[in-house]
Structure 1
Amino acid sequence: MEANSFAASKTVAGIDIYYEYYQHPASRDTIVLIHGFLSSLFSFRHLVPLLKEDYSVISVDLPPFGKSGKRTSYEYSYKNLARTLTELMDGLNISTYTVIGHSMGGQIALNILRHFPGKASKAVLLCSSGYLKPAGRALMLSSRLPLFHLYVKYHLGRSGVEKNLRNVVHDHSLIDDEMREGYLAPFMDNGIFKGLTRMIRDREGDLPQEALRQIQTPCLLIWGEHDKVVPLSVGKRLARDLPQANLIVLEDTGHLVPEERPEEVASHIRKFIGEPLQQTNR
């Protein structure tokens, strides 16, 4: 059955949130996709067509990325981003859902589970960020300089989209012009650099071990064997600290698992949503 799809922007918590909604005509399950740092919902372009066959799917641009707002008055902490997403779902009258987060998006998903229990019934963490500390004092102080956002722009420009893609994709033959342009597009709006500067100050660090151990929501962890950004060791540690977690490792795969292995990821998600969790890591 064909999903009814539309794109929209909704003001939530004082900032515009852009999202794409694929409403399944029969399924009662909804999936919420949260992308990673320096990315956008473009990173789920291969996964969405597979998931919308069986579920309603909402893919969101996190502020200040993609087509969402970039206001410097917004608080870009993980907890507030998590709150903003739960308020978006409340506004769409979606009471419960499976949250799927890639990289930094995984950490925001964990913040939803920790700070807003009951909103997400399950979570899938794709190479999720974990155990990172807040920015150092010197960087936080520097971020308050009037033109610091220009330094952020210069720093990101030096690394370049090609170098970044080669770092996150294991099979470099997958990198083509469509991928380059898709990951570059969010940075054509200069407002993003001011938003990123504010994020440096607001990012409170990843959830500590003691907070993770209080999360009782079933979690599926999917990791790339050759992840250079968030090493597999982080996934193994998260699997130990989360009370109800299973870890799946994809061979010959890097950090960008939704791009490299969409069919395998979708298959594991279907099994996870459709079946109760059978194993815990204790």
Structure 2
Amino acid sequence: MVERSDADADSKFTAVDDLRIHYKRSGRGPTLVLLHGSGSSLYHFDRVAELLAGSFDIIRPDLPGFGRTGPRPDRDYRIPAYASTIARFVEVLGVEHYSVLGNSLGGNIAWNMALDHPERSTALILANATGYPEKTVPGAMRLARNPLLRPLLRHWSPRSAVERGLRSSVGPGSTIVDDAMIDRAYRLLSLPGNRSAFVDLANTDQPDRSTEIPRISVPTLVLRSASIDGQHFARDIADSRELIHPDGGHLLPEEQPEWVADAVADFLDARAAGNRADDAR
């Protein structure tokens, strides 16, 4: 297991299987787990975590293959493997029940957790989640699947490519992509093994579980940017609620943190109020 030497003062690490998962935890209240997307890190949720920490116990890990967690020794980047690892991670932290908010890849992991561990999931929030086969593949993943480029990309990628990837992932009016954001993403990508892990993830043959999505019974909120394709969760998950942001891009929690945080808080507070009313009957 690789120990990351550049951790922040509030960084935490815990051992799960053969991984040492880097995470941050803040706030008090019902537990809310935040899962970032591919090519990202727990910093994706900095502002959302700050806004929600007054009411929730916020846990946000660097997913295996990203950030300071680093690559999986077994190189297994199938979504069910991710879901199993994160479920065990939360269990190691002593949390029995939790809600999950996932963006992109993190949303895919989140709904797989809801399928596989419904007894532990109290609510599911999907922000531009992936999981349907017709979903558009990001440009960086298409490049990583190129057999001629794969060996090179395992060891090298220019900062300019990271910048292009970030700018293509936000809405046309977004101004969040600055030098600090680009430098952070490039620095984390450059940590030992992370480039190779991204190539492994991009070339993993993912099982298609989209036909199982209607089996999700966890209360679900779908947050979607109007420009994002391949999103059918509101159609397929019974009694789910969908909110659409007209201007957001793929990185919705980072682009529109106040909108996301307000939607999440309203949804979870309504769920809690409903549960209290049921208990009172």
1:178 counterpart letter in structure 2: A
1:79-118 alignment, distance < 5 Å: 79-118=80-119
Equivalent residue in structure 2 for 1:15, among 15, 19, 23: 19
Residue 123 of structure 1 corresponds to which residue in structure 2? 124
- Separation in structure 1 between the aligned mates of residue 251 and residue 202 of structure 2, nearest angstrom: 23
SS at match of 1:204: coil
Matched-pair contact (CA < 8 Å) for 1:42–1:182: no
Structural mapping, 1:240-279, within 5 Å: 240-276=235-271
Spell out the pairing of 1:71-220 with structure 2 (5 A cutoff). Answer: 71-132=72-133, 148-153=150-155, 157=158, 160-170=161-171, 171-209=173-211, 211-220=212-221
Counterpart code for 1:115: D
Residues 200 and 264 of structure 1, relative CA distance in 2, 3 Å threshold: closer
- Matches of 1:203 and 1:114 in 2, distance apart? 20
1:173 partner SS: coil
Instruction: Give secondary structure in 1 for the equivalent of 2:65.
Output: coil
Whole-Å separation in 1 of the counterparts to 2:49 and 2:67: 17
Distance between the aligned counterparts of 1:206 and 1:158, measured in 2?
A: 33
Amino acid at match of 2:242: L
Aligned letter for 1:253? G
Query: C-alpha displacement at 1:18, in angstroms?
Result: 0.6
Q: Secondary structure at the match of 1:124?
A: strand
Alpha-carbon distance between aligned partners in 2 of 1:157 and 1:220, rounded to the nearest angstrom? 37
Range 247-256 or range 58-67, more displaced: 247-256
Partner of 1:53: 54
Q: Which amino acid aligns with 1:95?
A: E
Q: Kindly indicate whether the alpha-carbon contact (under 8 Å) linking 2:26 and 2:57 is maintained by their aligned counterparts in 1.
A: yes
Could you tell me which residue of structure 2 aligns to residue 280 of structure 1?
Answer: none
* TM, length-normalised to structure 2: 0.82
Q: Spell out, residue by residue over 1:149-191, the C-alpha distance to the aligned partner (whole angstroms, 9 max, x if none).
A: 434555x548712211221111243321222122222211241
Q: How many residue pairs end up in the alignment? A: 257
- SS of the aligned residue for 2:15 comes to strand
Alpha-carbon separation, structure 1, partners of 2:84 and 2:214: 20
Provide, for residues 206-234 of structure 1, a one-character-per-residue CA deviation record: whole Å limited to 9, x for no partner.
Answer: 4222x00111111101111234xxx2xx2
How big is the alpha-carbon RMSD for the aligned residues of Structure 1 and Structure 2?
A: 2.8
Question: What's the CA shift string for 1:39-89, capped at 9, x where partnerless?
Answer: 111111111100111111001100110000314424221111111111111
Equivalent residues of 2:222, 2:241 under 8 A apart: yes
Maintained 8 Å contact 2:18/2:73: no
Contact 1:130 1:238 in 2 (8 A): no
Q: For the residues of structure 1 that align with 2:24 and 2:244, how far apart are their CA atoms?
A: 29
Counterpart-to-counterpart distance in 2, 1:220 and 1:172 = 24
Q: Deviations over 1:240-263 (max 9, x none)?
A: 111231110012211111121111
Is the 1:65–1:186 contact (alpha carbons within 8 Å) kept by the matching residues of 2?
yes
TM-score by length of 1: 0.82
Contact in 2 for aligned 1:150/1:193 (Cα 8 Å): no
- Cα 1:172/1:153, change in 2 over 3 Å: farther
Partners of 2:206 and 2:33 in 1: how far apart?
A: 23
